[in-house]
Structure 1
Amino acid sequence: MLAPVLHHNYRFPINLISRFNPSVNFSYQSTAMSSSIVLPSISLTKAGSSDSLRNSSCLGFRNEIRRASLWNLKKSRVFVSVSVGSEAVVVDDALFKDYKPSSAFLFPGQGAQAVGMGVEAQKVPAAAELYKRANEILGFDLLDICINGPKEKLDSTVLSQPAIYVTSLAAVEVLRAREGGQQIIDSVDVTCGLSLGEYTGLAFAGAFSFEDGLKLVKLRGEAMQDAADAAKSAMVSFIGLDSGKVQELCDAANDEVDDANKVQIANYLCTGNYAVSGGLKGIEAVEAKAKSFKARMTVRLAVAGAFHTSFMGPAVSRLEAALAETAIRTPRIPVISNVDAEPHADPSTIRKILARQVTSPVQWETTVKTLLARGLQKSYELGPGKVIAGIIKRMDKSAEIENIGA
């Protein structure tokens, strides 16, 4: 179907331009401050036509925008469209579908926190500044809790999530400050994170500002805690079983409990390591049956409740409302979703995915397998802990990954 040809002065996202122009560099900070450049008289026609995007040679971006168009000609759909009057840009959500990863930033999720994190960041002014900005937004001294604890306080959902988010982005600044660090940052062409870490990845990729991301993470932690408080639930990790066996274990336990205590796989981390969430009685049932299913080990997770299941349903509407009010842009590089292990470019889709994320199983195993299969050469785990590095190495002993702490 032909799209109408529109001639209109509108804003073309910087993050799309920079994706195709290596000479233009934007960090998650600079993108947050300026997310668009005005380009005059752009025409849109049916995708697949050589005239999918026409523009003046203004600002020297003609070739870069043409390359952006050509990348999407194969998709036989409109790449971008304009809502006249609102200057809203609609982006093809499949923009990054055929991404070819070479260097990745991987960000940790809840559980990676440890008392003492943030100390290294204080040696780097730009990293230390993130904690100061966080204190203003949160209304309390986040750095003090990160460095001094106590552990029980830092481990709480409402505090650990913002603490990990800020510390992980501080680790980016620690890396930037070291010799060759900026070159590493510039080389990164894909990012993702475990659950909470997806928000960190989106901030790094310029989908939203550091401040907006922190506000979302703060609300997310509060909403998830409230949802956990509303019902008795828990999570347990099973070591030594494949996903099929873990599903059989869940089915066996579910036969013995009522609907309020059902369990399901919540985290597909890697082969032999899967986490199950559900009602407390259901969790106790799967733990009791684990030995008969030949699980090597079970580990009850120190989290507030059954994350990534329907138990988190009450948190969804609060997240949807906050996301609707948040300025979200197309990421400048692919950010892989925990929900479907795919990158998304359309801001409205990103909003929906983030709202669904708290009730959807984490597809980390598929994400890592896809990255490795598509040729990923080097990864960096930025933030507290080394959980992600352990998973990567378990899946591919030859994989190259470096930890950058703060």
Structure 2
Amino acid sequence: GMMNSFESVPLVRDVLDEASEVLGENIGRLISDGPVEKLNLTTYTQPVLLACSLAIWRLYRKNQPTGLPSFLAGHSLGEYSALTAAGCIGFSSAVSLVKFRAEAMQDAVPENVGGMAAIIGVTEECVEDICKSVRENSKNKLCEKNANTKTVEVANINTGKQTVISGSNSLLDSVAEKIIQLGKTARVVKLPVSAPFHSSLLAPAKIMLEHKLNEIELCDPAIPVFSNVTAKPYKGINEIRELLPLQAISPVLWKSTVETMIRSGVETFVECGPGRVLSGLIKQIDRSVKIYNFKDYDSFNKAMESLNV
């Protein structure tokens, strides 16, 4: 819905058309007319989100010609958008790569055996400890033959008070029970995802992504891009080939990434994408920084005015 107000902008249309050619599917129409069920399939959601983010990034660059940003970062799928924005991956390669990533992640586990949940109001250390005890408890109960089929792990460390866990449904439930016993401030929100992303259950996807990335031409980033896996800027192409597949089975270190940027002197964040989730997380990490995001074309133009002052 958010992209509808950008649809009339020629530059945005061009980017969406380019992605449509790669996917063999009219993305502009899919965004404006649906069907929503199709748009919600991860094999469409991921390339569509990347295309929308890149469209807004290009519009931002066109309207903000003075100086490149100091750093780029993206959350999970968004890291692919950031690498594309930095010129590491060509746009059409990126669209087909994230479609491949979506398929690989979807195929890594049978449907509905695993999922994800956000834990709110509890420290990351506490969530980590509970996951660990639930994992160990489940190992003790299982006979050796099944011991490696169930897990629950920290998948995203988003803020000091929001950690996402990922894993087998039965263990997610066990963690949720323990979290709720901690008291009133603790909340558990099941996420509407079809697989346990960023957990070891996605190991097959990691291997597929390694092979796929070896076929794709990469360039050194024109702007430093932070890796979700290390919360540090990538050192070069080899590290991208190594860490991007690893991201599928590793926690997204978003809190550390934002804190490191702020320590390096960043005072302003601009969220280029169809949504304002990251802006909300950044605000929780540090209330003092300036954050811009674009809920529609009007707010984009307003933000550009104040950014160009």
Fold equivalence (TM over 0.5): yes
Distance 2:161 2:285 in 1: 10
Distance 2:97 2:295 in 1: 23
Give yes or no for the alignment of 1:221 onto 2:102: yes
Shift of 1:152: 3.3
Distance 1:270 1:147 in 2: 33
1:147 paired residue number: 32
User: Retained in 2: the 8 A contact 1:320–1:355?
Assistant: yes
Distance 2:94 2:198 in 1: 20
Tell me which stretches of 4 or more aligned residues in structure 1 moved more than 6 Å. none
Q: Which has the higher strand share?
A: 1
2:267 paired residue number: 377
Shift of 1:143: 2.0
User: Retained in 2: the 8 A contact 1:378–1:401?
Assistant: yes
Give yes or no for the alignment of 1:290 onto 2:186: no
Q: What residue identity is the alignment partner of 1:143?
A: G
2:250 paired residue number: 360
The runs of 5 or more residues in structure 1 that have no matched partner are 1-115
Distance 1:230 1:323 in 2: 25
Q: Choose from 38, 55, 63 the match for 1:170.
A: 55
User: Retained in 1: the 8 A contact 2:271–2:292?
Assistant: yes
Q: What residue identity is the alignment partner of 2:159?
A: C
The runs of 5 or more residues in structure 2 that have no matched partner are 140-146, 297-309
2:277 paired residue number: 387
Distance 1:212 1:229 in 2: 27
- Pick closer, same or farther for the CA change 1:341–1:168 going to 2, 3 Å: same
Q: Deviations over 1:227-255 (max 9, x none)?
A: 13367111010000001111122123224
Distance 1:228 1:405 in 2: 34
Distance 1:177 1:332 in 2: 16
Aligned-residue identity in percent: 34
Shift of 1:304: 1.3
RMSD: 1.7
Shift of 1:277: 0.6
Larger Rg: 1
Distance 2:188 2:40 in 1: 20
Shift of 1:380: 0.2
Q: Which has the higher helix share?
A: 2
Give yes or no for the alignment of 1:236 onto 2:121: no
Shift of 1:175: 2.5
Count the aligned residue pairs. Answer: 287
Q: Deviations over 1:336-371 (max 9, x none)?
A: 000001112321221111111101111111101111
User: Retained in 2: the 8 A contact 1:121–1:174?
Assistant: no
Q: Choose from 124, 142, 157 the match for 2:9.
A: 124
Distance 2:161 2:38 in 1: 31
User: Retained in 2: the 8 A contact 1:253–1:282?
Assistant: yes
- Pick closer, same or farther for the CA change 1:175–1:405 going to 2, 3 Å: farther
The correspondence of residues 42-53 of structure 1 with structure 2, limited to 5 A, is: none
Q: Deviations over 1:49-107 (max 9, x none)?
A: xxxxxxxxxxxxxxxxxxxxxxxxxxxxxxxxxxxxxxxxxxxxxxxxxxxxxxxxxxx
2:92 paired residue number: 211
1:247 paired residue number: 128
Question: Bigger CA drift: 304-313 or 141-150?
Answer: 141-150
Q: What residue identity is the alignment partner of 1:315?
A: A
